[in-house]
Amino acid sequence: MCGVSTVIATVVLFGVAAGSTAACDGHGESCGCEDPDVTLRCMIADASPGDTILVPPGAYHGPIVIDKPLTLIGVDRPTLRGGSGDILEINAANVTISGFLLAATGDSLERENCAVRVNAGSAVIEDNILYDVLFGIDLKNAAGSVIARNYIGGKDLDIARRGDGIRLYRSDAATIEGNVLEDGRDAILWYSTGVVVRENTSRRCRYGFHLMFSGDVTIEGNDLQENSVGVYIMYSKGLTIRENLLAKNRGPSGYGLGLKESDDYTISRNTMTANRVGVYVDGSPFTVEGPADFTGNLLACNDVGMTMLPSVKGNRVHGNSFIDNAEQVAVAGRGELIDNDFDVEKRGNYWSDYGGYDADGDGIGEAEFESRKLFENLTDHRPELRLFRYGPVHEAIEFVARAVPAVRPEPKFVDWYPMTTPPPSGAAVASLSARGPTVRTGLALTAVAALIAGLAFASSPIASSLRRAASGARRLAFRAGGES
């Protein structure tokens, strides 16, 4: 067995690189210490529980297995390579891995090739670079673990063939902080409670963070951009989501934040901008347990600020700023948003398209804000009609709605106390230019609007009213032409 210098609780390999046997005591030939991979394995085998191993610069190849409490610190960032399989497997509690470059796992989804796999007890994985990895850091039954200040870069694969940058399974009270994840699939929490997810960055992944069956989770201060979805939460409860930047998430789902059948959540001071949908709410809150608050958030320049299913009840949406979203709030299906409060204690939200005024200077408009635009009503049922947004057809349909009140839809919701100035939000965003209406073309375009709406709802009362309005418009236009 290789003898390695030990000082107190520190095992140090001095100057060992390829071809060196400086740390061996005459057994280099039998233990293979000429090979740095075997040398590192010897050091791990010889170390006592609780020892610290300083690993010098060089390239070492996995798989490397740690089965006792140890601290491995890389000096000048040595490289651990995986080749066709995993790189590092930890099967004991109280292990720390710091200062390494872990590169090139295998690419088998079936085997879930992984850079760092923790199978038991708490671990600290910090200040490492993981590059060209299928799965990054995988914790199973590793309560109290810390994943901090790592860079995790996925493989150059189609997103469906990538693995998760970070995955927790039944790993309570873990901390995920200050990591950068790029080009992976998800960072996912399964059946884990008391987890803190703080100040991480995610780019070009499927889900920035994905929670399933988890509870008492705090997600704060993260920068999640250019993913398919920023944060998606399913079947979880006890959630605090605050001061995150959720931007440019425009994949097939394209949600900044999605909630499905979750309970007891507070969503506050987040900035959601340039997403397909800022917030998507499906079946949440699932029960009456705990609050369901959206407050102090900025939802700006999204295709849709907030989408709710008509069955959703019990949300309190107040103190938020809805600025220049193409559609401020959408209902994904037929029906109205019943039993959701858009104002609390006589304080509603700021709406950039609110047309009212504040007569007494209290910051609250004198008239309610109603969401009842005809074009939005049509696109909620037939999303493909968004092709005509901001064009003459859009303007003509809204002209008809104003001119013929009978075709106006019922309000999707009412904010009885709309704010006239935007409240402070969690993240600073550059000034947002208003999307002004296009030139209104009057009666001549009403016929076009009727045609589009008629194609969408050929048998609906709205379509019949539009056709009658269009016919009248054509007669007026004909008379005007004859008189001239």
Give the model's confidence band at 337: pLDDT under 50 very low, under 70 low, under 90 confident, else very high. Answer: confident
Burial of 198 (0-12, 13-18, 19+ CB in 10 A): middle
Note whether residue 263 is domain-resident: yes
Token pair in block for residue 359? 């007569």
- Of the two residues 322 and 437, the one the predictor is more confident about is 322
Number of domains into which the chain is organized = 2
Note whether residue 22 is domain-resident: no
Answer yes or no: are the C-beta atoms of 349 and 415 closer than 8 Å.
yes
Give the model's confidence band at 19: pLDDT under 50 very low, under 70 low, under 90 confident, else very high. Answer: very low
| The pLDDT of residue 171 is above 90 | yes
Q: Please indicate, yes or no, whether residues 473 and 352 belong to a single structural domain of this protein.
A: no
Q: Which residue has the tokens 């009212």?
A: 356
What is the distance between the alpha carbons of residues 384 and 382, in angstroms, rounded to a whole number?
Answer: 6
Q: Can you name the residues that pair with 258 across neighbouring β-strands?
A: 232, 280
Q: Please indicate, yes or no, whether residues 232 and 319 belong to a single structural domain of this protein.
A: yes
Q: Indicate if the alpha-carbon torsion angle 370, 374, 380, 381 is positive or negative.
A: positive
Q: Please indicate, yes or no, whether residues 271 and 418 belong to a single structural domain of this protein.
A: yes
Q: Please indicate, yes or no, whether residues 476 and 360 belong to a single structural domain of this protein.
A: no
Note whether residue 422 is domain-resident: yes
Answer yes or no: are the C-beta atoms of 438 and 390 closer than 8 Å.
yes
Q: Please indicate, yes or no, whether residues 365 and 457 belong to a single structural domain of this protein.
A: no
Q: Please indicate, yes or no, whether residues 416 and 479 belong to a single structural domain of this protein.
A: no
Summarize pLDDT for 268-284 with one digit per residue, the tens. Answer: 999 999 999 999 999 99
Give the model's confidence band at 33: pLDDT under 50 very low, under 70 low, under 90 confident, else very high. Answer: low
- Of the two residues 151 and 2, the one the predictor is more confident about is 151
Note whether residue 26 is domain-resident: no
Note whether residue 188 is domain-resident: no
**Confidence at residue 24, expressed as pLDDT on a 0 to 100 scale:** 34
**Confidence at residue 428, expressed as pLDDT on a 0 to 100 scale:** 44
Summarize pLDDT for 283-322 with one digit per residue, the tens. Answer: 999 987 778 999 999 999 999 999 999 889 999 999 999 9
Which of these three, 387, 404, 431, is where a domain ends? 431
Answer yes or no: are the C-beta atoms of 356 and 340 closer than 8 Å.
no
Cα 416 from chain centroid?
A: 31
Burial of 101 (0-12, 13-18, 19+ CB in 10 A): middle
Among 245-259, 384-398, 453-467, the minimum mean pLDDT is found in 453-467
Note whether residue 79 is domain-resident: no
Note whether residue 466 is domain-resident: yes
**Boundaries of domain holding 472:** 443-483
Q: Please indicate, yes or no, whether residues 230 and 368 belong to a single structural domain of this protein.
A: yes
Q: What mean pLDDT comes out for the span 218-224?
A: 98
Q: Please indicate, yes or no, whether residues 416 and 289 belong to a single structural domain of this protein.
A: yes
Q: Please indicate, yes or no, whether residues 306 and 355 belong to a single structural domain of this protein.
A: yes
Summarize pLDDT for 119-134 with one digit per residue, the tens. Answer: 999 999 999 999 999 9
Among residues 62, 69, 73, which one has the least CA distance to residue 12?
Answer: 73
The packing angle between helices 461-483 and 443-456, to 10°, is 160
Q: Please indicate, yes or no, whether residues 361 and 232 belong to a single structural domain of this protein.
A: yes
| The pLDDT of residue 461 is above 60 | no
What is the distance between the alpha carbons of residues 221 and 198, in angstroms, rounded to a whole number?
Answer: 6
Note whether residue 274 is domain-resident: yes
What is the distance between the alpha carbons of residues 79 and 133, in angstroms, rounded to a whole number?
Answer: 13
Q: Please indicate, yes or no, whether residues 290 and 249 belong to a single structural domain of this protein.
A: yes
What is the distance between the alpha carbons of residues 35 and 31, in angstroms, rounded to a whole number?
Answer: 9
| Residue 392 preceded by cis peptide, ω within 30 | no
Token pair in block for residue 227? 């993913």
Q: Please indicate, yes or no, whether residues 295 and 351 belong to a single structural domain of this protein.
A: yes
| The pLDDT of residue 450 is above 60 | no
Q: Can you name the residues that pair with 247 across neighbouring β-strands?
A: 225, 273
